[in-house]
Amino acid sequence: MHDGHGRIFDPAARRWTRTALAAWGEPVPPRRALDWLQRDSGTPLRAPVAVIGTRTPTAAQVAAAVAMGRLLAEHKVTVLCGGRSGVMEEVCRGVAEAGGLSIGLLPDDEPEAANPYVTVPLATGIGVARNALIARAACCLVAIGGGYGTLSEIAFALQFKRPVFLLEGAPAVDGGRVCSDAEAALDAVARVILAL
């Protein structure tokens, strides 16, 4: 994969390297490049993308969460979340509909606390301190609405230098980037993963 400007993408290191080769062919949009990375490159991104947000979503936030889950799953990206209700449940529902993989990092002692759509529930037993782990484990985060809990995850993510994309009224923190909808957030995620 090249960028039309003489650079080729090293999928293992997820880095672009300048090459002497002339550019050829058509440029592809980020999400097609993401597909190639996740399906055909042999070295897909393994670290998950986190989707976080409010436990009491509006209809628009539900729609955004389901769409986000479906889009990430369609591009074979693993989704990380808090495993509980609200946005966490809706994103897992979207992932499940697309046959993808979601991991729920639960605050609870037992996996039964997970919502029914989580593929793999991980009971941490450490309460909301698990928010720090969600921010750390993700290569980037998409926030959909949310209160203090979501704010703590965004703050940690920015401290850990993970890009944060804000949807549907997520807490506005300097350093986060507002996206208009799930499609725009997927493009932003794809660009992070492709180091564009």
Binding mask 56-95 for a copy of itself (x = CB under 8 A): ----------------------x-x---------------
SS3 assignment for 125-173: CCHHHHHHHHHHHCCCEEEECCCHHHHHHHHHHHHCCCCEEEECCCCCC
Q: How far is the CB of 22 from a copy of itself (least distance, A)?
A: 32
Find the radius of gyration of the CA atoms of the chain: 17
State the first-to-last Cα distance of the chain, in angstroms, to the nearest integer. Answer: 13
In angstroms, the CA 89 to CA 116 distance is 8
**Which of positions 2-41 make contact with a copy of itself (CB under 8 A)?**
none
Binding mask 138-167 for a copy of itself (x = CB under 8 A): -x-------xxx-xx--xx-xxx-------
Q: Where do contacts with a copy of itself occur on this chain (CB under 8 A)?
A: 46-48, 78, 80, 101, 103, 105, 109, 111, 114, 118-129, 131-133, 136-137, 139, 147-149, 151-152, 155-156, 158-160, 173, 175
